[in-house]
Structure 1
Amino acid sequence: MNPADPHPPLLFSLDDHPLLVPLCRELAATPGTLETRLFPDGETYLKVVTPVAGRHCIVVANLANPNNKFLSLIFLLDTLRELGASSVGLVAPYLCYMRQDCRFHKGEAVTSRLFARMLSNHIDWLLTVDPHLHRYHSLADIYTVPSVRVEGTTALTDWLTTQSSLLLVGPDSESEQWVSRVALASGHPYVIGEKQRHGDRHVVVTLPDLSDYQDRTAVIIDDVISSGQTILKCLQAVRQQGITRVKCAAIHGIFADGVDELLLQSGLTELATCNTIPHATNCIDVTPLLVPAIQQCLGIGGNQGSGNR
């Protein structure tokens, strides 16, 4: 982004996302000002203070635990359009509602498609980091606006490359494809576990023989830590084979029900996450990955404008 541009993009965030400041700095963008509060009956009051007419607007949103955030987000996105923004893009480093990607049982809502359909109606482009694309080829399968996916594994690989004598541990077969890529790029060996899931919080993880890696620090890596049960069972399986130095690193740390504290109490020597979801464990920065991706989005979606939708 050209620092001399008389009309740099405006960046807004409803929750003061920690990525807002570094993104403004690296993009030479201007932070937008909002006023928000709740009326006594719990309804949202929102005012966009910064003039936005004719400006490209970017909203940076934390969409973990989204149900109590979605209405305010839609109010902001649509208000920016009504006030004349030339385009409105969404940077959602963690993209919610990607889990239910098919109708597993009769009558279930396929919420990934429903959420994508709703959100697409309010934005000109979308940028996210490592969304859950288990049964979808790309975000274009469900989102109708230009969408860019950034690989957080690049930042994770850089973090692992600075360390030595590691064994990377993928908790299940679903993780093998990207764990193997991270291992090759960072120069560390890896093993993959076998997971059996009997419910949201009932998981069994079995690992191969680790006797050749007793002198290494094990690093359990995963894309998302939600309930944390997969990581917890994997940690137990690693320690049962005699490896006492065990770390964990993930792209997205949701940490439902305070499971981050439970993981550390259970023997993890370090818990590291990317700063896609604000948390005390954020020590892997995805800002360098987002900046060129945002510039790309402004090129492919930033000229559509709200009047063309």
Structure 2
Amino acid sequence: MIVPGSDTQELAAALSAALDEPLAAVEYDRFADGERLVQVPETDDRAVVVASTVSDSAHVELLQLQDAARQQAEEVVTVLPYMGYARQDAAFEDGQPVSARAIARAVATGTDRVLTVNPHETAVCDFFDVPATPVDAAGRLAEPLPSLSDPLFLSPDAGAIGLAETVSDAYGDGEVDYFEKTRTSDTEVEIEPSDATTTGRDIVLVDDIVATGSTMSTAVAQLTAPARVFVTCVHPMLAANARTKLERAGVDAVYGTDTIERPVSAVSVAPAIAEHL
């Protein structure tokens, strides 16, 4: 049975359909002091908890869902479409926590195994004390793209070029490149596509997450006379005024998945997750 988190109901429904498994009628509530309460009326022998931890409160809800499911199910599988704190995979200064490790250990206490979709670094899966598998859903981003003319798929840096290659392969056409950073002074950095020309071409910018929109907006500004510009990402966090930044930068459309449910969530990662269940 699929057990949805309150922030991940669309994806949970899509996964229920993909697996032909029932969807649990979870109830969500809060006490007067703000504390969360969930109720999972029934589950099957296997409970698949599907919850993106987009906030601290969502982390608490996930632990509650796991505990409620465990009371009835023989096996609990936790699907983290988006794992909050995953980018804090190292201590930046002495005395600071490895937050991704702390979160992973907490999540692992209530589950038998974990799936997480396109974590920023797959190494975070090693932090879980139960088997944890990264799910690559980047190829799903090709589906909502329109017909493209001489497409160029660009990642914001060399480290993310694998994502751009995955989307290009899924689309079935196009060149792949990445933005190269050149430091011109102590305070200024120039970025531009390392090799490919952008003039007159449809450009597809690809990344795992768009959070503030600053990186993508800066990248768009470096393109020379593109025909159209599309931004794609697995996790469309789009915090604060990120969507406005992209619009002002001249982006024609933004496409994300439903790991984080936003108006730009144009495609579901349910088929990619279902392959591992």
One fold, TM greater than 0.5?
A: yes
CA distance in 2, matches of 1:211, 1:275: 31
8 Å Cα contact 1:17-1:62 kept in structure 2: no
1:129 aligns with 2:114: no
8 Å Cα contact 1:246-1:268 kept in structure 2: yes
What is the DSSP-based 3-state SS (H/G/I as helix, E as strand, rest coil) of the residue aligned with 2:241? helix
Deviation at 1:190, TM superposition (A): 2.4
Can you give the 5+ residue segments of structure 2 that lack an aligned partner in the other structure?
none
8 Å Cα contact 1:12-1:59 kept in structure 2: yes
RMSD of equivalent CA atoms: 2.5
Deviation at 1:16, TM superposition (A): 5.1
What is the DSSP-based 3-state SS (H/G/I as helix, E as strand, rest coil) of the residue aligned with 1:31? coil
8 Å Cα contact 1:117-1:142 kept in structure 2: yes
CA distance in 2, matches of 1:12, 1:103: 32
Q: What does residue 13 of structure 1 align with?
A: 5
1:261-280 aligned within 5 A: 261-280=244-263
Relative to structure 1, the CA distance from residue 69 to residue 211 in structure 2 (aligned partners, 3 Å threshold; closer, same or farther) is: closer
Bigger radius of gyration among the two: 1
Q: What does residue 26 of structure 1 align with?
A: 18
Q: What does residue 55 of structure 1 align with?
A: 45
Q: What does residue 267 of structure 2 align with?
A: 284
8 Å Cα contact 1:222-1:249 kept in structure 2: yes
- Identity over aligned residues, as a percent? 26
1:16-165 aligned within 5 A: 17-49=9-41, 51-52=42-43, 55-64=45-54, 66-81=55-70, 83-133=71-121, 136=123, 139=125, 141-159=126-144, 163-165=148-150
Q: What does residue 301 of structure 1 align with?
A: none
CA distance in 2, matches of 1:231, 1:80: 40
Q: Which amino acid aligns with 1:189?
A: E
Relative to structure 1, the CA distance from residue 18 to residue 195 in structure 2 (aligned partners, 3 Å threshold; closer, same or farther) is: farther
CA distance in 2, matches of 1:17, 1:114: 26
Q: Which amino acid aligns with 2:97?
A: A
CA distance in 2, matches of 1:172, 1:271: 19
What is the DSSP-based 3-state SS (H/G/I as helix, E as strand, rest coil) of the residue aligned with 1:249? strand
Q: What does residue 217 of structure 2 align with?
A: 232
Deviation at 1:48, TM superposition (A): 2.3
TM-score when normalising by structure 2: 0.88
1:210-229 aligned within 5 A: 212-229=197-214
CA distance in 2, matches of 1:196, 1:257: 28
User: How many residues were matched structurally?
Assistant: 273
Query: CA offsets, 1:231-277, max 9 Å, x none?
Result: 01001111xx2225211111111011131132123211111111211
